[in-house]
Structure 1
């Protein structure tokens, strides 16, 4: 290599002292951020709805292993250890027996927690099986179990620390870091833009409850009696009555003669926090491009929802591609190198069907596909339709023929028309047997008589039931 070529890294990934673009809210800095985001995801219905909207479509997509030109034995090991089908295999074929404890569907659900917390780590655990090191487990190391993330000066991950002086090196880790803005490996939670709206909305919800509780039945007002010997004591007693007064089936109060206890309504119009709550709800959804979650059933809402959902699905597609690329780089490639130490060729890839590509097919759609020749009404399709629409099982053919002796046979009129066509072909020089076969009749079933006229052939058809050769 020429002396003029510089291959060693010179710079570093540490933020400059004069400018820090890291989180300025201390509650949202790791590790304190874990508790905040966990509280948001656990307690708020709008946040829960948003998180499910961005995770369930990805989980529902069809995930598989793309061979990518790798040898069959390499593809087989990856497919078996990750419990994923190979692209192009029969989706109804049984999977190989599970040897380890890896489940891709479970791993995917856990990996999607990186959207909530900004990051998610897994520890790779291998075992020797059949003369090869096989993936036994992808053990989740949840953010709440991590005390420190170790990062090198160049920004690369070195490992993580847990309580009990446990350090897991990077060569044992799989790290999902969502939308990183710096080299801290803490990523960016999808809930970060929604945080201030969540805080304000939570305050407004409490305010709304107070408004309803305070003004829902009016404000109790006690007017003292002019007959009271001690007016101050009378007012003090009335104040206690007003403060403890609550609605209910047995609610009530007794007051001295001449006193008054009334429920006074609000004069004028109060500002309802409902509009502000709805606004912050929409902002929480907008942070993940899920605008359609806040659309009401007004004119044009469905068309607008379809337009907005297209952009939302594109964002989910990007997220799924990031997960697939991370899994390929840090799970599949490590697995191949562990199971095949001397192998240095192409590795399989984790892939998935396009998001929202799985759609329910209606009977009308299925009929159109069959008429277009794109599907065949074979046994698996018929069985699936009977199971899907709760139809009775197909009757055995023997029982059907027993109840319908003429099943599969042409009527005399239909047979007569076919024979006329066959005789027309005979008049043109075609042999009778070949003419009958040409129109779909079995010559062996026809008692042709002298074979010279249509009357004799038609008569024989009426006497002897001619079978349709198809």
Structure 2
């Protein structure tokens, strides 16, 4: 018999938080708004990270998103279920921004680890309605999606948690909007996350493992730039009277010393270069002030280019995208790159499926409840497949399977191969796949020569006139056997 404790959550996820602020990240620079700014700098400034995110975004935006009606296994789809699927598809393409634009905003969860989007509904009244709350392509009066709008990660103030650690609301503080603190209930939003460690509402950025190599790379590039500048301009050195550097220097001497320090810091080689410098001598005729540029004594000990390249590779490896560097550093096999691309596309497929699951688990059930519709037979949004197919390898495989008689070319295979190759669809009047002239469409083998004149219809080649034809083959095995007998005869 069940006890009361069986229905109570006794433990916790272990997520470290204080009030509504998540502090689970052990690097303080990557927490909260400060962390969001770091991740934005990484995605906006680093070319390798930018290429990675660009590739992921464009591949996902190229996916065909479909709505599958609810149906029982091995049974036909009912009319009502088809209508429900059509309704969801209408809502997807009846928002104030396109579906692709919305997906592009959702993909910000790759950079920040999460993306919180507010669902704004509308009444489907008329395309000419004056207010967006009623403007729609449809006039059935149903409730649809007006927009699914991203709430910027850098505007997050804190989260509202319940006693069990679940998220109850997203609290936003946008300094550009004079609303103050805005609380958006979780029931009115969609929370997309790349991962769900300890039920952390902020997920985990796909750039998290790239932070350390990115930081070192950034530092080295800055040092490299300063070193190049100093090699070109020289190291400025100013000679001044000893009294200006003593602790007993007068205020005038301190002021002159500060001006001199500021001067040598600002020396650069550009179109505005030039120095205004005092000319003064002591009683012995020696210069009181002198400015020189010390040139580099030789090349540096370290090859910074190799170091930066190493960090580029490690950054790309964190999201399985190191294939983008093939050819840039003149190393790597393109055959190996093909395998890496397959792994990369598999990971992207999972990201697209995660987005679809969030809609199916939360957005669609709420939409149907608002419309008073049955929620036991809900349609589902499905992300299309991200395919990377070597047509040469596939063609060789199909040819061998067909020649062996293990595969029969038909209309279904024809349509599939045409779609993979981005060829126009088959004309319905054409029937199945057309075999080459003189080839059997089922086995891919040469067709035997026609029987001699006067032989009965259906007689094999070389059969004497009047001999009855062999029985008609009823399956692929019998057909192949008869053809082998004909060859042997």
TM-score, normalized by the shorter chain, greater than 0.5: yes
Displacement of 1:217 in angstroms is 7.3
| TM-score, normalization by structure 2 | 0.60
Partner of 1:449: none
Q: Do 1:58 and 1:316's aligned partners in 2 also have CA atoms closer than 8 Å?
A: yes
Partner of 2:102: 107
Distance, in Å, in 1 between the alignment partners of 2:189 and 2:268 is 61
SS at match of 1:196: helix
- Give 1:337's match in structure 2, choosing from 350, 365, 369: 369
Partner of 2:10: 11
- Give 1:61's match in structure 2, choosing from 60, 63, 68: 63
Map 1:21-420 → 2, pairs under 5 A = 22-69=24-71, 71-83=81-93, 98=94, 100-101=95-96, 103-129=98-124, 130-163=140-173, 164-216=180-232, 246=269, 266-267=297-298, 269-296=300-327, 298=330, 300-339=332-371, 341-357=372-388
| TM-score, normalization by structure 1 | 0.62
Partner of 1:409: none
For the pair shown, which has the larger CA radius of gyration, 1 or 2? Answer: 1
The 3 A distance-change label for structure 1 pair 263 and 67 is same
The 3 A distance-change label for structure 1 pair 251 and 161 is closer
The 3 A distance-change label for structure 1 pair 322 and 15 is same
What's the Cα RMSD here? Answer: 4.5
The 3 A distance-change label for structure 1 pair 51 and 376 is closer
Distance, in Å, in 2 between the alignment partners of 1:103 and 1:336 is 21
Partner of 1:94: none
* Further displaced range: 207-216 or 320-329: 207-216
The 3 A distance-change label for structure 1 pair 112 and 194 is same
> Structure 1 regions of 5+ residues with no counterpart?
84-97, 223-236, 253-260, 387-423, 429-470
Map 1:390-469 → 2, pairs under 5 A = none
Distance, in Å, in 1 between the alignment partners of 2:342 and 2:296 is 49
* Further displaced range: 213-222 or 30-39: 213-222
> Structure 2 regions of 5+ residues with no counterpart?
17-21, 72-79, 125-139, 174-179, 239-259, 276-291, 400-408, 425-451, 456-489
SS at match of 1:347: coil
Displacement of 1:292 in angstroms is 1.0
Q: Deviations over 1:190-223 (max 9, x none)?
A: 111111211111111111112222224777999x
Q: Do 1:155 and 1:184's aligned partners in 2 also have CA atoms closer than 8 Å?
A: no
Deviation >6 Å, runs of 4+: 217-222, 247-252, 358-361
Distance, in Å, in 2 between the alignment partners of 1:176 and 1:16 is 18
SS at match of 1:64: strand
Q: Do 1:220 and 1:264's aligned partners in 2 also have CA atoms closer than 8 Å?
A: no
SS at match of 2:149: strand
SS at match of 1:306: helix
The 3 A distance-change label for structure 1 pair 4 and 79 is same
Q: Do 2:113 and 2:193's aligned partners in 1 also have CA atoms closer than 8 Å?
A: yes
Q: Do 1:149 and 1:160's aligned partners in 2 also have CA atoms closer than 8 Å?
A: yes
